[in-house]
Amino acid sequence: MTKQFSKFATRFTSQAGIVQLMEDLGSALSGEQNVYMLGGGNPSHIPQVQQFIHERMQRLLDNPAEFAHVIGDYDSPQGETLFIQALAKLFRTEFGWDITSDNIALTAGSQSGFFLLFNMFGGEFENGKIRKIMLPMTPEYIGYADVGLVDNLFVARRPNIEKLDEHTFKYHINFDELHITEDIGALCVSRPTNPTGNVLTNAEINHLLEIAGDRNVPLIIDNAYGMPFPNIVFTDIKPVWNENTILCMSLSKVGLPGVRTGIIIAPEEVIKTITNMNAVINLALGSFGPSLALDLVTSGEITRLSNTIIKPYYQQKADRAIKLIKQEFSDIDYFIHKAEGAIFVWLWFPGLLISSQELYQRLKQKGVLVISGHHFFPGLNDDWQHMHECIRVTYSMRDDIVEQGIKIIAREVRMAYQRQVK
């Protein structure tokens, strides 16, 4: 019998990019396929980090009263109170921000947080008007694209492209084309940027804050890879927060993606609304993630861990991947985005006649999973050729997987260029 779904449900029946990504990731990491998983954003299993988490879990198991509370009691829909208090203290200590527990709410993962925020500031309003979320620069995170409860929730702009050398480039916001119309409800950027590893400069962020302030709309900053944790940032930046900023963080890239704990830092009225949404949608939030991370945050050890272990680990992984790409791609026309943070390399193949989606399909047949670049341009309505010439590759997997995967990518791209010449 054919089921009839609501308009809400049909939004989830198409093969969205994030669905394809997570299906590939789940199959690869569950062992269902013998593949080189270079498409997902799963963080590395860093031994020193996992040891900290293991020890904390053991202390939790050894304390019957605490264990009973974590698994047997509901938390507040705002999130675990002690953990939120520890976070507020950490941000006051690290950055001098004037925030309290009233400025922080947890969510069931950062993806859930963006669903709430984007539909809070975008969509249909009581006056019947439709407001949109502005992405000042694409490419942007694949997970944004399909979270809207209305069609065409996003508007976006192309970046300026600066070629740094014969094989390296960097995106910049094109402020000349950044016109914030009255139907814009919020601005959103990720920093470092998923998928490119780009880090918006301090000047770019300050300019966005000025624009958002002038228009009285919030600037949402996706800080999943940023400071103070996990601090996968390879350039000098200054974190920012004020009453017109909404900062989104996560425990995932610290090494805890499985506990699904997102963090929103925002003005009190936003936090109150997020808390109410949590109560309606989730009733309460999971306690496991905050309990595992509580000691790390309370002691400030999470900052030391990020600065001395997590950041250097990924910096080394990035350097190794880029060196390998330069070796394997030496006879290929390619550019790689300057690696300034996050856990990805963003490859651009100018003039490649096959689309990045077709390249994805060919690589998948060879056992290598990447992400086609066209998924990372939500809100960009023009069919820009550049969108179809890029792929995202993660370097967070084991070194042997990354190495073999890059070699296969090089062979397949080389063959595609050779077919074009013929």
Q: What is the pLDDT of residues 370-385, one digit of tens each?
A: 999 999 999 998 889 9
The closest alpha carbon to 396, from 223, 250, 301, 254, belongs to: 254
| 53-74 average pLDDT score | 93
Cα distances from 127 to residues 59, 116, 152, 214, in angstroms, run 53, 20, 19, 22
Q: Residue 5: is its pLDDT beyond 80?
A: no
Per-residue pLDDT, 422: 44
Residues 6+ apart with CB under 8 A from 172: 137, 159, 160, 161, 162, 204
Q: Residue 247: is its pLDDT beyond 60?
A: yes
**Average pLDDT over the chain, rounded to whole?**
92
* Distance in angstroms (rounded) separating the CA atoms of residues 276 and 279: 5
H or E element in which residue 417 lies: helix 399-421
Which of 39-43, 78-82, 272-276, 399-403 is the least confident region? Answer: 39-43
pTM above threshold 0.75: yes
Give the pLDDT confidence of 130-145 residue by residue, as tens digits: 999 999 999 999 989 8
Domains of the chain (ranges; CATH) run 7-49+305-421 (3.90.1150.10), 74-299 (3.40.640.10)
| 391-405 average pLDDT score | 96
- CB atoms under 10 Å from CB of 97, counted, come to 18
Q: Residue 50: is its pLDDT beyond 50?
A: yes
Q: Residue 367: is its pLDDT beyond 60?
A: yes
Q: Residue 21: is its pLDDT beyond 80?
A: no
